[in-house]
Structure 1
């Protein structure tokens, strides 16, 4: 699936710059596999971070955080596992989310899978 929505592309760019400002190095963007897509893959120290970017104009319907449901987390986990296997990577990793709502600062949720 291609990111065709201009707001989605802009949100990913904001998230990417935000992570870089926090000392992360972006490894991949919009990485696709049979299980889905990972918006950003970043390195922070020795950790590999799989990042889901969520943008919402406002808090209506629960906002950006509420849009990440169990089904989405399952797809992210399968995609991350596939990435690690196909790239032959064995390092500490986690799945995070960058939430963007309206004009607010990005919110970084770490280890959203628990």
Structure 2
């Protein structure tokens, strides 16, 4: 594995750790992290959480060092949303009954909050339609 790939993975894990801490302070409970569909070409959900009202929240965490190429929010492309929705449907098939769900995004451009930056919580950032 190259040093750059290792650093990118570590940075992503740090961003997810930071987002979990932030969301838990808002009352959400972590159910699962890095849920992946089986096989190639599937999807991944960074965080699956439950809100205080029981809503199942699928969270995409995006951190960018700067907004030069459109920033963290712009990096959630149509294809990325499609793969997240695919993974969410796969996750929901495992449940006995489907709860109310939504797709949120946690985005940060610049340093993470622990280094002086700020999360932006985009609730219902997109839907499954």
TM-score (normalised: structure 1): 0.92
For the pair 1:27 / 2:31, whether they are aligned, the reply is yes
Q: Which residue of 1 aligns with 2:66?
A: 58
CA distance in 2, matches of 1:89, 1:55: 33
2:48 is aligned, of 41, 49, 65, to 41
1:113 Cα deviation after fit: 1.6
Consecutive unaligned residues in structure 1, runs of 5 or more: none
RMSD: 1.4
User: How many pairs were matched up?
Assistant: 112
1:102 aligns to what?
110
* Mapping of residues 58-97 of structure 1, within 5 Å: 58-97=66-105
SS of structure 1 residue aligned to 2:66: coil
User: Cα offset for 1:49?
Assistant: 0.2
